[in-house]
Amino acid sequence: MRTLHPLCPAAFLAAAAIVTTIGCASAPPLTAEAQSSLRTVEESVNRVAAQFDRTSKALAAVRDDWDTDPDKSIRAFAMEVGALESRVKEVGEPGSDLLLSRWDAQLRSILNGELASAESSEDSAIQRAFEHADDRVASLREKFTPVYARMLEFREDFRQRSSGAEVESLLTELRRTTTDSKEVSKLFDQLSQALSTLAGGKSR
């Protein structure tokens, strides 16, 4: 029978302190209005993420079907990338060249509203938590932008020459893009989780 060793008091307190610190930093008390707004942003992120995943899957099918029936896969990819383009436009901010910039603006607006109503002692915790979400948006944008641009380029390439030979000439780029898209999907998940955590704390 395995013997269980109790955690010494010092170690227990250290572990508890770590959990408490992480909990406070990741989910400070927010107003119900802010939590609702954050859930709206999260839903928007999830919609774009779901369409990105469908587009990535369609692109992988083009890669896999290049020597059998590329035309069918190309048509399916064109439909999915068109839907992704619409989703991306929905979360663009007028006057900004950055993709997904509406999420930046929404987070900034929510943060400003919280800082205006919070006690001064709560400001630093709230700012740190929103900075984490901002960082997740920035990391996602950095990886998403070139992959998305390449997907749009593939659509144009296939419009000009829809054939197995054309797809074969692009296989290296297709493989690279489908591999990179997996990392983008993970970053979408991380952003969604950060927003969910931020919205799921105590109300004040």
- Per-residue pLDDT of 111-167, as tens digits, reads 999 999 888 888 899 999 999 999 999 999 999 999 999 999 999 998 887 666 777
Confirm whether 149 is domain-assigned: yes
CB atoms within 10 A of CB 181: 23
Mean local confidence (pLDDT), 178-195 = 97
- What pTM, to 2 d.p., does this model score? 0.84
Question: From CA 1, how far away is CA 187, in angstroms rounded?
Answer: 43
Q: Is the C-alpha dihedral spanning 47, 49, 55, 60 positive or negative?
A: negative
- pLDDT tens profile 14-40: 433 333 333 334 578 999 999 999 999
Confirm whether 14 is domain-assigned: no
Confirm whether 107 is domain-assigned: yes
What does the pLDDT read at residue 163? Answer: 65
What does the pLDDT read at residue 162? Answer: 64
Confirm whether 5 is domain-assigned: no
Number of domains in the chain: 1
Q: Is the C-alpha dihedral spanning 138, 187, 133, 38 positive or negative?
A: positive
What does the pLDDT read at residue 76? Answer: 96
